[in-house]
Amino acid sequence: MKEIIAGLQDLDRVLDHLDQHRKEHQIVLLRGDLASGKTTLVQRFCARHHALQATSPTFTLAHHYPGGEFEIYHYDFYRKDVQELLLMGVLDHLQYVGVHFVEWGTETLKKILIQAGFEVLIITLERRDRLCCYRFNNG
């Protein structure tokens, strides 16, 4: 486990660590309270890798950011049941090669993904005043 405490101005340290452990096809489960910085992290990651401007997929469930160095996908599974996602076919998209950021990735989802053979990285965000603690764990 790696822990980095950073403010918005120091987010490059978090992105550096993420890039050092990035795989060609990887799923990153983002966990944290509302407004903890999950979407901001994805936005900065996309900007760093010359992809389209990232926006929150809260109402669309999923966004795809092509045109960068590799494909980036961004999902918001807030209050979504894993069975519901399976029925909708959303989890089929996780098979596309690229980096997949999943906001609100649950423990149940993590277990399903690992059983299916996916590379899973978990980043837990915890707000601390103007700073945020980013905890990195491999699935």
CATH class of residue range 2-138? alpha beta
Identify the pLDDT of residue 16.
96
pLDDT in tens, 126-137: 998 889 999 999
pLDDT tens digits for 10-25? Answer: 999 999 999 998 888 9
Is the pLDDT assigned to residue 56 strictly greater than 90?
no
Q: Is the pTM of this model over 0.75?
A: yes
pLDDT of residue 54: 82
Q: Rounded to an integer, what distance in angstroms lies between the CA atom of residue 97 and that of residue 73?
A: 10
Q: How confident is the model at residue 39 (pLDDT cuts 50, 70, 90)?
A: very high
